[in-house]
Structure 1
Amino acid sequence: MAGPSRKIAPAPPPEVTYAINLAWKETLEGAHAKAHERLKQTWEQEHRFPEVAWSAALIAARAGDTSASYAWVELAVRHTD
């Protein structure tokens, strides 16, 4: 029995995955603002993947910027489908 047909979202390209990983490394080193800016630039370069937005939401929350975190969550949810 086959399930409903669903589209699978494309995986982010390597440069986006690299930016996400680098942002997390920066966050672990305490450079939250730098990490957040990196992901913001990645998004602005038309790399609109939910992985970017979710990571930015978590990093913004770690930095204590709850309004930015909520804004990123909203973008992540909109770009999931």
Structure 2
Amino acid sequence: MWTALCNKGGVRYRNQYQLRHTYASWMITHANVNVSYLAQQMGHAYITMVARVYGKWLVESNKKESERVWQELEKVRNQ
């Protein structure tokens, strides 16, 4: 059934465990989701589990967030 759903959706096959990691890494890098919220969604009792498993994506997300903050500060400075 899972393979059929992947085929129907035009998605390259990934097992459900891989899909869980894809979801978490995408939420961190593209949706800028709060890590505490993500931990809750993933069923983790503590955010440290998210940090340990997805740490490299958190670093990437932090860089993007830092750039966004500086852009906002530039807007304020130029007013």
TM-score, normalised by the number of residues in structure 1: 0.28
Q: Rg larger in 1 or in 2?
A: 2
* Larger relative contact order (CA 8 Å, sep ≥ 6): 1
- Give the number of the structure whose residues are more often helix, by fraction: 2
TM-score, normalised by the number of residues in structure 2: 0.28
